[in-house]
Amino acid sequence: MKVSLGKVVILEGIPGAPSARDRQAGFLAITDQFPIEVLASITAYYSRERGATAMEDLLQAHPEINVMLPNNDPAAYGVIAAVEGAGLGVNKDVYIGCVGDQFKTLDLIEEGKIFSSVSVSPERTGEIMVEVAIDLFNGKEVPLNVYIPHKPITKDNVIEVRDYKLSFGPME
Protein backbone atom coordinates (compact mmCIF):
# COMPACT_ATOMS: atom_id res chain seq x y z
CA MET A 1 0.00 0.00 0.00
CA LYS A 2 1.33 3.42 -0.96
CA VAL A 3 1.50 5.96 1.87
CA SER A 4 0.36 9.35 0.61
CA LEU A 5 2.29 12.38 1.82
CA GLY A 6 0.63 14.81 -0.55
CA LYS A 7 -3.12 15.24 -0.77
CA VAL A 8 -3.25 16.99 -4.13
CA VAL A 9 -5.92 18.88 -6.02
CA ILE A 10 -5.43 20.04 -9.60
CA LEU A 11 -7.16 23.11 -11.00
CA GLU A 12 -7.43 22.59 -14.73
CA GLY A 13 -7.58 25.26 -17.41
CA ILE A 14 -10.14 25.71 -20.17
CA PRO A 15 -11.72 22.40 -21.20
CA GLY A 16 -10.43 21.26 -24.58
CA ALA A 17 -7.62 23.84 -24.73
CA PRO A 18 -4.37 22.12 -25.73
CA SER A 19 -2.46 23.75 -22.86
CA ALA A 20 -5.00 22.53 -20.31
CA ARG A 21 -5.22 19.06 -21.83
CA ASP A 22 -1.45 18.63 -22.06
CA ARG A 23 -0.71 19.98 -18.58
CA GLN A 24 -3.31 17.66 -17.09
CA ALA A 25 -1.89 14.68 -18.98
CA GLY A 26 1.58 15.58 -17.73
CA PHE A 27 0.45 15.86 -14.12
CA LEU A 28 -1.37 12.55 -14.22
CA ALA A 29 1.36 10.71 -16.14
CA ILE A 30 3.77 10.88 -13.20
CA THR A 31 1.57 10.90 -10.10
CA ASP A 32 2.17 7.21 -9.45
CA GLN A 33 5.92 7.91 -9.15
CA PHE A 34 5.46 10.02 -6.02
CA PRO A 35 3.84 9.53 -2.60
CA ILE A 36 0.83 11.66 -3.49
CA GLU A 37 -2.87 11.13 -3.85
CA VAL A 38 -4.88 13.19 -6.33
CA LEU A 39 -8.09 13.94 -4.44
CA ALA A 40 -9.77 15.91 -7.20
CA SER A 41 -9.18 17.64 -10.49
CA ILE A 42 -11.62 20.31 -11.58
CA THR A 43 -11.80 23.10 -14.10
CA ALA A 44 -10.98 26.66 -13.05
CA TYR A 45 -10.85 28.11 -16.59
CA TYR A 46 -7.47 29.81 -15.96
CA SER A 47 -9.38 32.31 -13.82
CA ARG A 48 -8.57 33.94 -10.48
CA GLU A 49 -12.26 34.13 -9.55
CA ARG A 50 -13.04 30.55 -10.53
CA GLY A 51 -9.81 29.39 -8.88
CA ALA A 52 -10.92 31.00 -5.60
CA THR A 53 -14.43 29.56 -5.79
CA ALA A 54 -13.12 26.11 -6.72
CA MET A 55 -10.65 26.16 -3.84
CA GLU A 56 -13.31 27.24 -1.35
CA ASP A 57 -15.52 24.34 -2.47
CA LEU A 58 -12.61 21.90 -2.49
CA LEU A 59 -11.56 22.83 1.04
CA GLN A 60 -15.09 21.99 2.19
CA ALA A 61 -15.11 18.65 0.36
CA HIS A 62 -11.47 17.75 1.08
CA PRO A 63 -10.18 19.52 4.21
CA GLU A 64 -7.08 17.30 4.05
CA ILE A 65 -5.78 19.08 0.91
CA ASN A 66 -2.16 20.07 1.38
CA VAL A 67 -0.98 20.62 -2.21
CA MET A 68 -2.70 22.66 -4.92
CA LEU A 69 -1.60 22.57 -8.54
CA PRO A 70 -3.38 25.33 -10.45
CA ASN A 71 -2.74 25.22 -14.21
CA ASN A 72 -1.79 28.91 -14.45
CA ASP A 73 -0.89 32.06 -12.55
CA PRO A 74 -4.35 33.68 -12.12
CA ALA A 75 -5.91 30.47 -10.80
CA ALA A 76 -3.06 30.32 -8.26
CA TYR A 77 -3.92 33.86 -7.10
CA GLY A 78 -7.48 32.71 -6.45
CA VAL A 79 -6.22 29.68 -4.53
CA ILE A 80 -4.09 31.93 -2.31
CA ALA A 81 -7.10 34.12 -1.53
CA ALA A 82 -9.25 31.10 -0.67
CA VAL A 83 -6.60 29.43 1.50
CA GLU A 84 -5.96 32.64 3.43
CA GLY A 85 -9.71 33.28 3.66
CA ALA A 86 -10.13 29.86 5.28
CA GLY A 87 -7.55 30.81 7.90
CA LEU A 88 -4.97 28.36 6.59
CA GLY A 89 -1.30 29.06 6.04
CA VAL A 90 -0.17 29.34 2.43
CA ASN A 91 2.85 27.06 1.98
CA LYS A 92 2.39 25.90 5.55
CA ASP A 93 -0.97 24.09 5.53
CA VAL A 94 -1.45 24.14 1.75
CA TYR A 95 1.48 24.29 -0.69
CA ILE A 96 0.87 25.90 -4.06
CA GLY A 97 2.75 25.08 -7.24
CA CYS A 98 1.58 26.57 -10.52
CA VAL A 99 2.46 27.08 -14.15
CA GLY A 100 3.49 30.54 -15.29
CA ASP A 101 5.97 33.30 -14.78
CA GLN A 102 4.02 36.54 -14.58
CA PHE A 103 5.81 39.20 -12.54
CA LYS A 104 3.13 38.94 -9.85
CA THR A 105 3.85 35.21 -9.61
CA LEU A 106 7.55 35.92 -9.19
CA ASP A 107 6.72 38.37 -6.39
CA LEU A 108 4.53 35.76 -4.69
CA ILE A 109 7.30 33.18 -4.89
CA GLU A 110 9.67 35.65 -3.21
CA GLU A 111 7.03 36.32 -0.54
CA GLY A 112 6.58 32.59 0.07
CA LYS A 113 2.96 32.51 -1.10
CA ILE A 114 3.68 30.27 -4.08
CA PHE A 115 6.10 27.42 -3.41
CA SER A 116 7.13 26.92 -7.03
CA SER A 117 6.10 27.51 -10.59
CA VAL A 118 7.22 26.49 -14.04
CA SER A 119 8.22 29.18 -16.49
CA VAL A 120 6.48 28.96 -19.84
CA SER A 121 8.69 31.84 -21.02
CA PRO A 122 6.89 33.64 -23.83
CA GLU A 123 10.11 35.59 -24.27
CA ARG A 124 12.14 32.45 -25.02
CA THR A 125 9.34 31.20 -27.26
CA GLY A 126 9.67 34.39 -29.31
CA GLU A 127 13.43 33.98 -29.57
CA ILE A 128 13.09 30.39 -30.79
CA MET A 129 10.39 31.39 -33.30
CA VAL A 130 12.77 33.92 -34.85
CA GLU A 131 15.63 31.40 -34.91
CA VAL A 132 13.43 28.84 -36.69
CA ALA A 133 12.14 31.44 -39.17
CA ILE A 134 15.70 32.49 -40.04
CA ASP A 135 16.72 28.86 -40.49
CA LEU A 136 13.75 28.30 -42.83
CA PHE A 137 14.52 31.48 -44.77
CA ASN A 138 18.11 30.30 -45.20
CA GLY A 139 16.93 26.97 -46.57
CA LYS A 140 17.85 24.92 -43.53
CA GLU A 141 15.77 21.97 -42.54
CA VAL A 142 14.01 22.41 -39.21
CA PRO A 143 12.38 19.74 -37.07
CA LEU A 144 8.64 19.29 -37.22
CA ASN A 145 8.45 19.96 -33.48
CA VAL A 146 10.66 22.44 -31.67
CA TYR A 147 11.23 21.97 -27.95
CA ILE A 148 10.99 25.11 -25.82
CA PRO A 149 12.56 24.45 -22.44
CA HIS A 150 10.58 25.18 -19.30
CA LYS A 151 12.34 26.24 -16.13
CA PRO A 152 11.27 25.46 -12.57
CA ILE A 153 11.03 28.62 -10.49
CA THR A 154 11.60 28.67 -6.73
CA LYS A 155 12.94 31.16 -4.20
CA ASP A 156 16.41 29.96 -5.21
CA ASN A 157 16.24 31.27 -8.79
CA VAL A 158 13.35 33.75 -8.88
CA ILE A 159 15.69 36.75 -9.18
CA GLU A 160 17.47 35.15 -12.14
CA VAL A 161 14.11 34.53 -13.87
CA ARG A 162 12.97 38.11 -13.20
CA ASP A 163 16.25 39.51 -14.55
CA TYR A 164 15.89 37.41 -17.71
CA LYS A 165 12.35 38.68 -18.28
CA LEU A 166 13.41 42.28 -17.63
CA SER A 167 16.24 41.95 -20.17
CA PHE A 168 13.53 42.31 -22.83
CA GLY A 169 12.68 45.79 -21.58
CA PRO A 170 10.13 47.21 -19.15
CA MET A 171 6.81 45.43 -19.01
CA GLU A 172 3.62 47.47 -18.90
Q: How far, in whole angstroms, is CA 63 from its chain's centroid?
A: 22
The CATH class for the domain spanning 6-120+151-157 reads alpha beta
CB distance 78 to 48 below 8 Å: yes
- Domain segments of the chain as ranges: 6-120+151-157
Statement: the pTM of the whole predicted model exceeds 0.75 = yes
Question: Quick check: 163 and 114 in contact, CB under 8 A?
Answer: no
Phi, psi at residue 118, to the nearest 5°? -125, 125
Q: Which pLDDT tens digit goes with each residue over 45-59?
A: 999 999 999 999 999
pLDDT, mean of residues 81-90: 96
Helices (H), the chain: 18-30, 48-61, 73-85, 103-111, 122-137, 158-166
Higher pLDDT, 116 or 170: 116
Short-list 66, 17, 14, CA closest to 43: 14
DSSP conformation letters of 131-144: HHHHHHHTT----S
pLDDT tens digit sequence for 2-40: 556 799 999 999 999 998 999 899 888 988 898 999 999
What was the pLDDT predicted at 87? 97
Q: How far apart are CA 42 and CA 107, in angstroms?
A: 26
Q: What was the pLDDT predicted at 3?
A: 52
- The average pLDDT across 133-162 equals 92
pLDDT surpassing 60 at residue 172 = no
| Cα–Cα nearest to 44, from 62, 7, 70 | 70
